[in-house]
Amino acid sequence: MTTPAAPAADPAFRALVFALALLAALLAGAARAEALKPIQASKHVYYVQGAPGMATKENRAFNSNAAFVVTSEGVLVFDALGTPLLAQELKQAIAAVTRQPIRRVIVSHFHADHFYGLQALQGPGVEIWAHAAGRGSLGNEFTRSRLEQRRRDLAPYVDEKTQLVGADRWLEFKDGPEIRFTFGGLKMRLIDVSGAHSPEDIMLFVEDDGVLLAGDLYFSGRIPFVGQADSKAWLAALDRIEPLAPKMVIPGHGAASRNPKPDIELTRRYLLYLREKMGAAVRDLVPFEEAYKATDWFEFINVPAFEVANRINAYGTYLQMERELLGR
C-alpha cells in the first residue's frame, strides 16, 4: 500500500503555505504601519499626526492630530482623535512613552475628528475638560446627523457603539479669556477663542515648553480652510495667540510648526484680504461670481492649498460679510 505524498511535499500546498505566510507578513506590516507614532515636540509635549485630507475608511478616520503632555504627576491629553479605536491606540502610544496614567483630557472643540475618541479615554481618575459652549454643540441637530453620517461612511471605525461623550468640567471663562492652571508642576493656559471655527474653540498653551496646541485655527504653510468660520472672531483669536510668541504650534491637522510667526501673519493677511474684497462686493451689491473673478489673487496664488480652498473660502467670507452688513 502506498502512502499519499506528505502534504508538505506537494508543490501546490507549498505555494499555499507561502502565500499564507506572505499574507500574514503583509497584515503584520499593515498593523505596524497603522500604529500611532508619537513625535516628541518639546521636553514634555508629544503629538501624533493624522493623514492629510478628509476622514476615510482607508485612513481609518485618522486625519487629525492629538497631543499629550507628560509630567511627573500624570499625562494631559489634548484632543481625542476621530474614533474610539484611534484613542485606544493613542493610549498605547502614550504607554510606550511613559508609565504615568492619563489624568486629564482637554477637547479643542466638538467636531467629529477631535472628540469621538473620548469614550476610550474616559474613566476613573480621568477628568475631561471643554468649553461650556460645547454643551450646545453636543446636543444639536448637526452633531447628531454627523454621527449618523459617520456611522454610515466610516463603519466599523465609527458604528452603533460610538457615543458622543461630553466633558466632566465645562469651562465658563467667567473671569476673562484665559484660564491659568498648573498640571504636574507645568504652567498652562487655556485660551478662549470660541466662535472663530466653532462655538467652543479653546487652545492650550504649555508655557514652560513654549508649545501651543491650537486646534483648527492654525494652518502651517498653507492657505487656511475658512469654510463657515467667523473670520472676525478668528482675527481676534490671532491677536490673542501672537503675544504668546509660541516656539512651536501643533495644529489640529497637518504638520507642526517651529516657526509660527509667518504662519500667523499669512493667515491674518489672507483673512483681512478676503474680508476687504468680499466686504466691498457685498456693500456694492456685486454678485459673488463677478466679485471673485474681479479679485486679484496674485499674492496667494502660489501658497499651497490655494486651488482647493480659495474659492470656497471667498464664498464663505462673502456670506459672512452679508451677515455682518445686515447685522445678523
Binding positions for Zn ion, rule: CB under 5 A: 111, 216
Residue labelled with grid coordinates 497584515: 27
Shorter beta-carbon distance to Zn ion: residue 200 or 209: 200
Helix orientation angle between 306-325 and 260-283, rounded to the nearest 10 degrees: 50
Shorter beta-carbon distance to Zn ion: residue 226 or 281: 226
Smallest gap from residue 198 Cβ to Zn ion (A) = 6
> Is 1 buried (19+), middle (13-18) or exposed (0-12) by CB count in 10 A?
exposed
For Zn ion, the nearest residue by Cβ is 111
Smallest gap from residue 17 Cβ to Zn ion (A) = 48
- By residue count, the chain amounts to 328
Shorter beta-carbon distance to Zn ion: residue 112 or 291: 112
CA distances 134 to 76, 143, 201, Å, are 19, 11, 9
Cα 226 to Cα 285: distance, rounded to the nearest angstrom: 22
Cα 300 to Cα 287: distance, rounded to the nearest angstrom: 22
Smallest gap from residue 83 Cβ to Zn ion (A) = 16
Q: Is 131 helix (H, G, I), strand (E, B) or coil?
A: strand
Smallest gap from residue 143 Cβ to Zn ion (A) = 12
Smallest gap from residue 196 Cβ to Zn ion (A) = 10
Shorter beta-carbon distance to Zn ion: residue 70 or 171: 171
Smallest gap from residue 142 Cβ to Zn ion (A) = 12
Closest C-alpha to 196, from 219, 222, 220: 219
Smallest gap from residue 21 Cβ to Zn ion (A) = 43
Shorter beta-carbon distance to Zn ion: residue 71 or 320: 320
Residue 161 and residue 84 in contact, taking contact as beta carbons nearer than 8 Å: yes
11: CB partners within 8 A, 6+ apart: none
Residue 271: how many CA atoms within 13 Å on its side-chain side? 28
Cα 32 to Cα 268: distance, rounded to the nearest angstrom: 40
Please give the distance of CA 192 from its chain centroid, rounded to a whole number.
17
